[in-house]
Each structure stands twice: as structure tokens, then as C-alpha cells.
Structure 1
Amino acid sequence: MISSKQRAYLRSLANTITPIFQLGKNGIEEAFLRQLEEALEAREIIKITVLENSGYTAKEAINEICESIGCEGVQAIGNKIVIYKASQKNPRIVLP
């Protein structure tokens, strides 16, 4: 669990990154979750666009993703979500 100060720091980092995944009509399935885990291991923080045809709101998507892969939901605004998980092999982000 991250504190509000750490969450604010992660939100500031997420401002400059572009979404690298789109959650579409296939929804949240195993292959998508596996790709997210690999990306989180490499980048630690990622932004995802939730498309309208996915059947999820941003808050529903972030809750299900975080529950499935054990990451932290940083932000869900509009149709964009930001998730964070510290890398096991090569942590780069140092939380305050």
C-alpha cells in the first residue's frame, strides 16, 4: 500500500508518459494481464487507455487489474488509468 504522498509523486511521473496499452473489446484476459506484468517489470509505471467498447469504466478496470496482478492503482481519470508495481529485478523509481 502506498501513501498519498507517494501516490502524488507517481502521478507527477505519469504526467509525461503516453499510454502503451489499450483495454478494448476483449476485456481483461490472461494474455493482457501477462503483458501488463512484463511491462510493469520493465517500466514500473504504465498508463492504459480504456476504450468505450471494453465494457469497463476506468475505475472498474483499475480495480480488477490491480486485484489480478497485485499492483497499485495510482490514478483513474476519464478513460486513462495509471498503475505502478515495483520491479523485482531492477527497481528504478525511488518513492519518497
Structure 2
Amino acid sequence: MNARNFGSNDSRLTKWHIQILRCVKGRSKPEGKISSQTELNPLIVSQLVTDLMEYGLVERTLKRKMHMYYREYFSATLDGIAILETARTRENDLVGRIISFLS
């Protein structure tokens, strides 16, 4: 899914999707860390991360901790970062419009 195509139809993304994207934008994190930073139930975070993976906005990597133990880490893709920038631009435009309306 391309960010240009997704930008016009991002009604599928909730504020929680955006919050998770912001959480994993700078550094890959496990679901537990995402859950504690967003203050959401781990089961809900798991579903939201799965949605973002289906949209192609988040990717999963496995990192080996011990010989037989792997841990899943999630990070934003380039399309995910582009969606965040689009959302931030829209927020700034909205704030600018409100300020100009009130002035």
C-alpha cells in the first residue's frame, strides 16, 4: 500500500493506530513496550499492530535473545512514516485555519 493512495482514505486509521505508529517510528519495540507506552491492553495492541502490518505500515522482525528464544520487534515502514507526516501536516493545517478564523 502506497502512502499516496492511503492518504485519501486513512479513515481506516484510528487515533490508536497513529499513536502506535508514533511509538515505533524512531526505534523498533516489542508489543509489551508499545502497550506500556500507549497505556493500552496488550491484546488490543496486538490487534492494532496486526492491522498496521496488513496495511504495510509496520513490519515485524525477530531478534534472537538466546539459543532457542526469539523476540518480536515492530517498526514503522517508510509508508508508515509518510502517513505520520501527512497526519501531522493535516493537524498543522487545521490549527492554522482555526487560528486564522479566530483572528
Q: Same fold (TM over 0.5)?
A: no
- Superposition TM-score, scaled by structure 2 size: 0.29
Greater helix share, structure number: 2
- Superposition TM-score, scaled by structure 1 size: 0.30
Greater strand share, structure number: 1
